[in-house]
């Protein structure tokens, strides 16, 4: 199965498996020494660890809401080798589209797309490349939402940020921009969680007093739950630290379900303790 279904109050949600990428374990764990991180996620011969490309689909009264869009189909073989991308669809253009089809949906059924940020592994599926090489919008009936600051940041890259932002993923998209905390539709909230990039957002789903949070790159896998286990990719790691501290306080007080975009095994779980550090309880594993 390419999806895992759960309820948040009366909202039905699906974690959709969009395939895999494989990134350098050292870069993924920042200053954490390898003897510690390799106990949690074992690296391959190229020192890379497997990562999911998981998206969240919410069946909302206002239509289907998709949070992040995976990596898409526009990249060439060289790129896919470097990042260890495995996301070709069996029937659709990508595994994400296969997962949608498994639930009986086509890309045209999606009414809202919310991007947590515009890195290629989160927004690559915003658009697709057809057989003639033309780029089109993948979800033609959807309103695409992103932080205004993130769109500007993506359009003005420097030597450090350029590799992650690829213009075909966002140039041809007409975005609805939000600025800071926002509720683009009832019960779907954008929570600014800066650090990985300055305008990164997580997405909180609320219904009937229950809450689930799609963390995106604030906490990419459950192995990253301890506060200082921050990716080397993060542009402002000390800002990530404070974003986590703030979010964890609410997640604990309100019993949030935490959904992990990049964890190859664990789809979701709740915040608990692992000795003195934060850890995971009640894990939901990919099927």
In the complex, minimum distance from the CB of residue 122 to Zn ion, in angstroms, rounded to a whole number = 6
Q: Which stretch, 114-122, 125-133, 137-145, 220-228, contacts Zn ion (CB under 5 A)?
A: 114-122
Between 22 and 119, CB nearer to Zn ion? 119
188-218 per-residue burial string, b: 16 or more CB within 10 A, e: under 16: bbbbbbbbbbbbbbbbbbbbeebbbbbbbbb
Helix (H) or strand (E) holding 37: helix 34-40
In the complex, minimum distance from the CB of residue 220 to Zn ion, in angstroms, rounded to a whole number = 8
Between 95 and 200, CB nearer to Zn ion? 200
In DSSP terms, which residues pair with 66 in a beta bridge? 57, 113
Task: Compose the 194-233 pattern: x for residues touching Zn ion by CB under 5 A, - for all others.
Answer: -----------------------x----------------
Cβ atoms within 10 Å, residue 84: 17
In the complex, minimum distance from the CB of residue 234 to Zn ion, in angstroms, rounded to a whole number = 9
Between 135 and 235, CB nearer to Zn ion? 235
Between 74 and 119, CB nearer to Zn ion? 119
Per the rule left: phi > 0, alpha: psi between -120 and 50, beta: everything else, 72 is left
What is each CA distance from 132 to 74, 97, 106, 173, in whole angstroms?
12, 20, 21, 19
HSE, CB side, 13 Å, CA atoms: give it for residue 157.
13
In DSSP terms, which residues pair with 281 in a beta bridge? 270
Query: Does 262 help bind Zn ion (rule: CB under 5 A)?
Result: no
According to DSSP, residue 276 is labeled: T
Task: Single out the residue of 48, 119, 166, 262 in contact with Zn ion (rule: CB under 5 A).
Answer: 119
In the complex, minimum distance from the CB of residue 119 to Zn ion, in angstroms, rounded to a whole number = 4
In the complex, minimum distance from the CB of residue 217 to Zn ion, in angstroms, rounded to a whole number = 4
Between 116 and 207, CB nearer to Zn ion? 116
By the criterion CB under 5 A, which residues form the site for Zn ion? 119, 217
């Amino acid at each position: 199965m390419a999806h895992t279904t759960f309820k948040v109050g009366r909202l039905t949600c699906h974690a959709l498996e969009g395939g895999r990428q494989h990134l350098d374990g050292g870069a993924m764990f920042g200053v954490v020494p390898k003897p510690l991180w390799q106990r949690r996620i074992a690296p391959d011969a190229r020192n890379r660890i497997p990562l999911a490309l998981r998206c969240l689909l919410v069946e909302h009264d206002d239509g289907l809401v998709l949070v992040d869009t995976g990596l898409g189909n526009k990249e060439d073989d060289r790129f896919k080798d470097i990042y260890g991308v495995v996301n070709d669809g069996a029937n659709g253009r990508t595994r994400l589209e296969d997962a949608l089809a498994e639930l009986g949906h086509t890309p045209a059924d999606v009414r809202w797309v919310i991007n947590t940020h515009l890195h290629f592994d989160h927004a690559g599926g915003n658009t697709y490349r057809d057989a003639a090489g033309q780029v089109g919008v993948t979800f033609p009936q959807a309103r695409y939402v992103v932080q205004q600051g993130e769109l500007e940041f993506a359009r003005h890259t420097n030597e450090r940020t350029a590799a992650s932002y690829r213009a075909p993923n966002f140039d041809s998209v007409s975005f609805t921009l939000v600025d800071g905390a926002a509720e683009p539709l009832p019960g779907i909230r954008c929570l600014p969680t800066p650090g990985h990039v300055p305008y990164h957002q997580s997405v909180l789903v609320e219904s009937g007093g229950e809450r689930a949070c799609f963390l995106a790159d604030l906490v990419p896998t459950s192995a990253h739950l301890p506060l200082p286990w921050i990716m080397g990719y993060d542009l402002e790691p000390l800002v990530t630290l404070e974003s986590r501290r703030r979010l964890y306080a609410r997640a604990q007080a309100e019993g949030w379900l935490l959904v992990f975009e990049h964890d190859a095994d664990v789809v979701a779980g709740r915040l608990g303790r692992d000795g003195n550090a934060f850890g995971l309880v009640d894990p939901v594993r990919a099927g």
